Structure 1
Amino acid sequence: MAQLEDLPVTKHHNVYPGIDPRPFISAQTYKDKVVVISGASRGIGEEIAITYARCGATLSLLARSKEALLGVKQSILNEVPKAQIEIFAADVTDCDAIEKAVEGTVKRFGRIDIVIPNAGKCDAWDKPFSQKDPKEWWRTVEVNLRGVYNLAHYSLPHLEKIGGYLLVVSSIGAQSRIPYSSPYCLSKHALNRFVEFVTIEHPNVKAFSFHPGGVRTELALASSVMDDKLNDPPGLAAGTILQLTSGRFDWLSSRYVSANWDLDEVEKTWKKSIIDQNGLISKLSIPVN
């Protein structure tokens, strides 16, 4: 199995035919599906939300700012007037708030089909962790890891009932060891293994660890060293997520997937090797010549 960085498939930095959302929009593929998205008040989360709404989905949107969520809700309703949307102002690290949001979603809509923990945190990559505020270091880890855990913890029982989807927004940083990035990269790396445990302990759920591409979000810009790599539109991530939750790519469940990979080529060229060698998971290996 090739290393992740060397997976020999076409790399995309814009929406391409294989993830074009228009067929899903025309068919209203996600009608009657309830999608929960954290970090939905801006950036990638907002784009994912409006893309699912265009495809007929019902939305439950979470973020810390109620005002920002109301703005996103109105933007979606301006384009999709009949969209059903509930919002919950909640910090993903607050167990009680996330439990209330999940149960509030089920009470309002009766079910949950897809959960996308997208909320995250990143700080400047400017000095060793021993020179930074330890509370701030742990806050980044807490948002990125505990925030995902909390939403998964309360939503997985509902997903398991119907064979739903958990799509964790991770990062290529999970595969990286960049100086001064330890809280971000470490927490994203842990998410990859967490997704594997989800599918082991909840085998009826399809779960993915997903790199959304290099999107110019406030979070990504916070690192202060990634600017030249942030060239992907959020629609690349949204279109890829639609495909991953469509049923066609369930064979990739439990694995790391990048929005930059051409999914058609991954399926055509690499599916057998990925399955046979249990690839795209976290594991130690020794290169053999």
Structure 2
Amino acid sequence: MSAPRYRNLSVTARHDVYPAISSDLYFSGTSTAFRNKVVIIIGASKGIGLSISSFYARAGAKLALVSRSEKALAEAKDQIISEANLVKPEVLTVAADAADTKAIAEVVREVIKSYGRIDIVVANAGTSSPWTKPFAESDPYDDWWRVLEVNLRGTYNVAHHTLPHLEKSGGAFVAVTSIAAQINASFASAYAVSKTAINRFIEYVSIEHPLVKSFALHPGTIKTDILTTVIPFWESVAIDTLQLPAATILKLTDGSGRFDWLSGRFVSANWDLEEVERDWKDEIVNQGILVTRIIVD
């Protein structure tokens, strides 16, 4: 199985933090963009979620970290605190499965009890079965439907319980999606369907909750546990850093409003945001691209 192809925006492909999304100002202590902002990160104990959490902490945010493992959360908290460069961050940890609606409701109650508000939410929990056989040959629950439950239902659960609070704060909701939604790769149906649905769901978040800035973010192709499990050729495509999506998300949610016009749309961390703004903003806004549509040329 070879790496699939897909169409992309004609902008510079970025694989690490670049000047336009540098977080140095946020980390300097002089910026108030994230100072005392309350940020919930789902799937925060490792990989992409841990990197995002560390960036927000270094920028002065108060964190609520959510993952299924209490032990992994404790280790993540220690790492985040050790990486904070100025003031020791406030970090709340709550063990919960994103696919469990009642558990996520309890997470939100804990966050409100501790911090009194929610400003930014990153729904990053995700899973995938290996891309090794047709879905009809897989277990219908453990190998297929569980992926939909974690990826899609998990994102919905988090949105359902946090959006009322984000509306009050005029906050931001980021769902971590994947470029896999834009490709047809053999044996990837559960993962691709879940991510396609997330993209569409974010469009509805924007429509029904317009006070909240919402983004479906592809984090790049990064060596994570999921990637190394699902595809055999991961070494040839996993060229992006963990810092790339973290810096991108901070830029999208810094409250400046600069990229609010991307709300309700699919955004790739690999796209140079400055070039997207310069070369594509008018077309994106006026022609409604980066959303799920049937196009006939």
Tell me the TM-score normalised to structure 2 length.
0.94
Partner of 1:197: 204
Map Cα deviations across residues 64-100 of structure 1 (whole Å, 9 max, x no partner).
Answer: 0000000011111223252001000000111111000
> How far apart in 2 are the matches of 1:253 and 1:273?
14
CA distance in 1, matches of 2:295, 2:82: 51
SS in 2 for 1:185: helix
Residue identity matched to 1:263 = L
Aligned to 2:36: 32
Counterpart amino acid of residue 43 in structure 1: G
Check whether the contact 2:172–2:212 (CA below 8 A) recurs between aligned residues. Answer: yes
Within 2, Cα distance between the matches of 1:45 and 1:54?
Answer: 14
Matched, 1:229 2:231: no
**Alignment check: 8 A CA contact 1:164 1:206 kept:** yes
Question: Structure 1 residue 200: deviation in Å?
Answer: 0.9
How far, CA to CA, are the matches of 2:130 and 2:83 in structure 1? 36
Give secondary structure in 1 for the equivalent of 2:223.
coil
**What CA RMSD, in Å, does the superposition of the two structures yield over aligned residues?**
1.2
Match of 1:239 in 2: 247
Corresponding position: 1:281 with 2:291? yes
- Counterpart Cα distance in 2 of 1:4 and 1:279: 16
Which residue identity does 2:252 align to in structure 1? L
In structure 2, the residue matched to 1:83 is 89
Deviation at 1:29, TM superposition (A): 2.5
CA contact (8 A) 1:4 1:280 kept: no
Measure, in 1, the Cα distance between the counterparts of 2:172 and 2:279.
Answer: 25
Which residue identity is paired with 1:91?
A: D
Q: 1:112 is paired with a residue of what secondary structure?
A: coil
In 2, are the aligned partners of 1:35 and 1:112 still within 8 Å (CA)? Answer: yes
Instruction: Measure, in 2, the Cα distance between the counterparts of 1:150 and 1:208.
Output: 16
CA deviation after TM superposition for structure 1 residue 233, in Å: 0.6
Is 1:119 the counterpart of 2:119? The answer is no
Going from structure 1 to structure 2, the CA distance change for 1:4 and 1:132 (only over 3 Å counts) comes to: closer
Q: In structure 1, the residue corresponding to 2:205 is in which secondary structure?
A: helix
Which segment is superposed worse, 236-245 or 220-229? 220-229
Of the three residues 225, 246, 269, the one matched with 1:218 is 225
- Gaps of at least 5 residues in structure 1 are none
1:128 to 122, 127, 134: 134
C-alpha distance 175-197 of structure 1, shift in aligned 2 (>3 A): same
Aligned length: 285
Residue matched to 1:12: 14
Corresponding residue of 1:69? 73
What is the correspondence of 1:241-280 to structure 2 with a 5 Å cutoff?
Answer: 241-246=249-254, 247-280=257-290
Q: Which amino acid aligns with 1:39?
A: G
Name the SS of the counterpart of 2:7 in structure 1: helix
Q: Mapping of 1:144-159 within 5 angstroms?
A: 144-159=151-166
Which residue type is aligned with residue 158 of structure 2?
A: L
Quote the Cα distance in structure 2 between the aligned partners of 1:241 and 1:277: 24
How has the CA–CA distance of structure 1 residues 63 and 127 changed in structure 2, closer, same or farther, with 3 Å as cutoff? same
Q: Quote how far apart the aligned CAs of 1:177 are.
A: 1.3
Native 8 Å contact 1:123 1:223 kept in 2: yes
- Preserved CA contact (<8 Å) 1:220 1:226: no
- Partner in structure 2 of residue 46 of structure 1: 50
Map 1:153-168 to 2 at 5 A: 153-168=160-175
Gaps (5+ residues) in structure 2?
none
Amino acid across the alignment from 1:123:
S
Deviation at 1:4, TM superposition (A): 7.1
State the TM-score, normalized to the length of structure 1: 0.96
Pairwise CA distance, 1:163:
1.1
- Secondary structure at 1:60 match in 2: strand
Alignment partner of 1:6: what SS?
Answer: coil
Return the letter of the residue paired with 1:275.
V
| 1:148-193 CA-partner distances (Å, limit 9, x unpaired) | 0000100000001121100000000011111100000000000000
- What is the alpha-carbon distance in structure 2 between the residues aligned to residue 156 and residue 226 of structure 1? 38
Q: Residues 113 and 162 of structure 1 are in contact (CA less than 8 Å); yes or no, is this contact kept in structure 2?
A: yes
Structure 1 segments of 4+ aligned residues over 2 angstroms from their partners: 3-6
Q: Report how far residue 23 of structure 1 moved.
A: 1.2
Alpha-carbon displacement from aligned partner over 1:119-153 (angstroms, at most 9, x marks no partner):
00011101100000001210011100000000010
2:187 is matched with 180
